[in-house]
Amino acid sequence: MTDPAYSAPHHAGAMGSLVEKLDWLREHARERQPDARLVDWGRRHLDLTGDDLAPWVARAWWGIAAGELLRVYLYTRKQRHEALALLENPDWSDIEHAQASGGVILAASHLGPPKFGMNALLTRSGNPLILTNRRDMPDWLPDLSDLLIDPATADRAQIMLRAALHLRQGGLVYAAPDGGFSGAIIELQAFNRSWRFSPGLAALARIIRRPAFTTLALWEGNAIRLRTRPVPAPDDDLPPDAWHRAWIESHWQHAAEIIRSSPENLRFLCSMFRKEFGT
């Protein structure tokens, strides 16, 4: 059952703080009829049954709805600061330490509130190079053309060259391997399904020999916390394709933990809801 009554833009324009709206959404998620699409996903891919299923669905629905509400706040001029204020004490120290000796790769994922990690990164100094879909970027934001690459409008060779130059100049490169970075694909099997990844970031890490961190902004209650974890470099003796797969598998381990334990952060499920949520 869908919930056509919920509209993220309408909710964003209503009275009350963002935190109050997140609390309301959580209560609404518990009271509404469990969404059949989420019920099916939980059964198929996490083997959920019985009493475990309804609470999981409520938490997953809340995370998707809260993420779409947050997206509206992020890209509304007068509300953006309220969205960014949800980020609690970000610890960039490991990344800053690594960047002291050169460029650093930040491997994101389609987990947690949408676009939040990218926007949090843009509030720092350091001019990161970010691969992202630019279609929903508002006109009033400062010109970010030097910082953002849209994979839909640039070919793989251009992306790889620009990212390699940025790393060699000591910059940060931020992208999600589970996005459309290149035509090649690495597939992993987990949770009763196939997961597809681009080897582009792994290839950069292998060629440029710079450290990489899985970097995720994730819901924890009504707050958002930044989690960073090093992606170990695989054995140098591996051939390129095997090296790329090993790198992706290391990055994936952290994402798999989130999928297994934190239904609020399953952002990759939001595509089935965005139209009805008005985003």
Each residue's pLDDT expressed in tens, for the chain with a length of 279 residues: 344 568 899 999 999 999 999 999 999 999 999 999 999 999 999 999 988 999 999 999 999 999 999 999 999 999 999 999 999 988 899 999 999 999 999 999 999 999 899 888 988 866 799 998 877 777 777 777 788 888 877 788 888 999 999 999 999 999 999 865 556 789 999 999 999 999 999 999 999 999 999 999 999 999 999 999 999 999 999 999 999 999 999 999 999 999 999 999 999 998 878 777 656
2 inside domain: no
What local confidence, expressed as pLDDT, does residue 123 receive?
84
1 inside domain: no
106 and 234 in a single domain? The answer is: yes
28 and 97 in a single domain? The answer is: no
245 inside domain: yes
51 and 175 in a single domain? The answer is: no
Which two three-digit tokens encode residue 120? 């949090």
227 and 106 in a single domain? The answer is: yes
173 and 200 in a single domain? The answer is: yes
241 and 272 in a single domain? The answer is: no
Stated pTM of the model: 0.91
Question: Which residues on adjacent β-strands are paired with residue 212?
Answer: 105
79 inside domain: yes
229 inside domain: yes
158 and 146 in a single domain? The answer is: yes
124 and 196 in a single domain? The answer is: yes
Which residue carries 């006109």 as its tokens? 139
CB 238 within 8 A of CB 246: yes
Number of structural domains in the chain: 2
42 and 145 in a single domain? The answer is: no
3 inside domain: no
What local confidence, expressed as pLDDT, does residue 2 receive?
42
| Burial class (CB within 10 angstroms; exposed 0-12, middle 13-18, buried 19+) of 40 | exposed
Taking the C-alpha atoms of residue 54 and residue 59, their distance in angstroms, rounded to an integer, is: 9
**Residue 186, number of CB atoms within 10 A of its CB:** 18
Using only C-alpha atoms, the chain has a radius of gyration, in whole angstroms, of 19
59 and 97 in a single domain? The answer is: no
CB 152 within 8 A of CB 133: yes
Q: Name the residue range of residue 44's domain.
A: 8-84+264-277
229 and 98 in a single domain? The answer is: yes
Distances (CA, A) of 225 to 13, 80, 116, 157: 25, 17, 10, 34
Question: Which residues on adjacent β-strands are paired with residue 148?
Answer: 130
159 inside domain: yes
Taking the C-alpha atoms of residue 164 and residue 152, their distance in angstroms, rounded to an integer, is: 19
Which two three-digit tokens encode residue 264? 């609020």
50 and 15 in a single domain? The answer is: yes
Strands 186-190 and 193-197: antiparallel
